[in-house]
Amino acid sequence: MRLLNTRTGRFRWVDGPAEVKYAVLSHVWSRGEEQSYQDLLRIQCNADGQDSSNEGSILLAASPKIRNACAHALADGIEYIWMDLCCIDKTSSAEVSDAVLSMYAWYTHAAVCYAYLDDVEADEDPRLPSAKFRWSRWHTRGWTLPEVIAPKAVTFLSADWRALGTKHELAEVLEAVTGVDKGVLTHDVPLDSISVARRMSWAAKRLTTRQEDEAYALLGLFGIHIPIMYGEGAHAFLRLQEEILRTTMDQSLFVWGAGMSDCALDAELYDETRHTLLASSPAAFARSAGVQVIRCAALVGPEQRTALGGELPAYEFTPYGIRTWFPMLSVGPKVCLALLPCLDEDGGRLALVLKKTEDAATVHTVGIAGWEGVRARYRASLRTLPWNTDPAQAGNPSITASEETFTRVVKLNRPWPKTIPSSKLYIAHRPLNSLSVRPPAAHPGISAHPRIREPHDDLILVDRMDSSLRGVLWVCLADALDAVVSLLSLGFIIAVALFLGGLFVLLMMWMVGRHPLLVLL
């Protein structure tokens, strides 16, 4: 870790942040005006060549941002400061990678973080609704999110480097502006107690210069590390989510997109990324701030937890998608619901809408267009388990007859049954063009989804993995009913065809009797 001496302007290398007391600078980059590590190193070399006795001559030649940051730290009795401007050798990919992975820890251990807002004046109260502080571009950048959360102490500075207030003093304003919980900002609430979806929502409207930083800036918020590979683009955010799945049981990661609210989309416009389990960027979580998490064990009974190997969930990353267990409800031959241990802001339980792919019965994509049509078709079977998407959609005049609603997540308005069968399946977690769409033909443990029937107006769920006699009987009965319905349908079609054929023959005979010359035709 390279630090800058706030008195002399010279660098010092330390092995870890615990060795010395230091400050950090959080800011927004100004194009073409920032001094790099090489620039400051050149200034130091020039000072050495001149043999200057003035120990502050290096800082006099430094940029105003570096000079003023050092002056503030020195005034607070802090001898060293770290800033990404000049303390990282950006020509070294190894050093950049190490800095990205260590940055959250460096900000966490800092004695104070100076947040420099170059577009805010000091002559107004940041607490006022019209204050420019609320609209500073500092609040819109991706990297400033961990920089405001990680440090215990943050001092906000105006464009002329005057104090605007501390993080604790402005916690309520910051919560309103950023969406980050006040308790998280003040370190009174553990970060890992906040759902993954909510943490993602904090970054939904933030921008980064490089696409990869959408993911890298969030590493510290989830306590994980992934290899840093600039140039991979959106793939970085997919890797971030995959690593989150490996380290947490929080399935709110799947609750993103416009599936529960503003989702009037043209059904002919197919966006492949919205059909996957994982999001393509933090922007997809803009509406997920209210998602809460409950224990996975609440979804299945003890016998099923034993059968599934204890702790839930577990994920296997394959070329065909993520292979995992979900408590499942079927909504017809191709559509089913995967129940999630998640609640919305009103306490409603959430479920993913899954659709089987054409190429493989066990591979599913997420979400469908025209959910209301599917729901209406199976209304009789779903009568005892009603659900709907966000009530705001009802009667939405902006949805025309040529448009269909695309839905990823639905809310169950009533509690689900106490025992819910689970199925193991593949779910496309990346765009389908990056996956093999057909898994092995025979894979142990793969099961069909439970069927929904309505004998005596009761909801009956049967899992094909249920080895009990009752389960087997229900499966056989369901298959028998399907066969009978198919035979009756076929018989009806044949009867109608014979009837119409007979009418045609009788009509021809009548016409020939009245007009014998028709025989010659």
SS3 content of the chain, % helix, strand, coil (to 5): 35, 20, 45
**Closest residue by Cα to residue 407 from 286, 257, 271, 306:** 257
| CA distance linking residue 17 with residue 109, whole number of Å | 6
Q: Which residues pair with 213 in a beta bridge?
A: none
Cis peptide upstream of residue 444 (ω within 30 degrees of 0) = no
- For the entire predicted model, the pTM comes to 0.76
Which pLDDT score is estimated for 402? 33
Pair 265, 403: CB distance under 8 Å: yes
Which pLDDT score is estimated for 216? 98
Phi then psi for 185, rounded to 5 degrees? -65, -40
Q: Are strands 387-388 and 368-369 parallel, antiparallel or unpaired?
A: unpaired
What kind and span of H or E run contains 109?
helix 93-109
| CA distance linking residue 421 with residue 412, whole number of Å | 17
| CA distance linking residue 399 with residue 403, whole number of Å | 6
Q: What is the mean pLDDT of each run of 10 residues along the chain (521 residues)?
A: 96 94 96 88 86 74 95 97 96 96 98 97 92 97 98 97 97 98 98 97 96 98 97 96 93 81 31 74 94 72 45 75 85 84 88 81 78 57 38 33 63 68 80 51 38 28 33 47 63 82 80 59 49
Rounded-to-10 torsion of CA 77, 120, 282, 217: -20
| CA 427 remoteness from chain centre | 15
* Predicted confidence (pLDDT) per residue in 82-105, tens digit: 999 999 999 999 999 999 999 999
* Predicted confidence (pLDDT) per residue in 382-415, tens digit: 433 333 433 333 333 333 333 456 788 888 766 6
Cis peptide upstream of residue 397 (ω within 30 degrees of 0) = no
Residue found by looking up tokens 């389960």 in the block: 471
Pair 300, 327: CB distance under 8 Å: yes
| CA distance linking residue 139 with residue 119, whole number of Å | 11
| CA distance linking residue 328 with residue 339, whole number of Å | 6
| Largest separation between any pair of C-alpha atoms in the chain | 129
The domains of the chain are located at 2-189, 251-460, 472-519
* Predicted confidence (pLDDT) per residue in 464-480, tens digit: 233 333 433 444 454 55
At position 361, the amino acid (one-letter code) is: A
Tokens of 466: 């249920």
Which pLDDT score is estimated for 273? 54
**Closest residue by Cα to residue 199 from 179, 182, 214, 173:** 179
**Closest residue by Cα to residue 306 from 325, 330, 328, 323:** 325
Pair 23, 5: CB distance under 8 Å: no
Which pLDDT score is estimated for 320? 77
**What's the number of CA atoms in the CB half-sphere (13 Å) around residue 319?**
5
Contacts of 423 (CB under 8 A, 6+ apart): 325, 326, 328, 447, 448, 449, 450, 463, 465
Question: Which SS3 state, helix, strand or coil, does residue 116 take?
Answer: strand
- What DSSP designation does 323 have? E
Pair 475, 462: CB distance under 8 Å: yes
| CA distance linking residue 143 with residue 425, whole number of Å | 37
What kind and span of H or E run contains 81?
strand 80-82
Residue found by looking up tokens 């014998």 in the block: 516
| CA distance linking residue 160 with residue 373, whole number of Å | 60
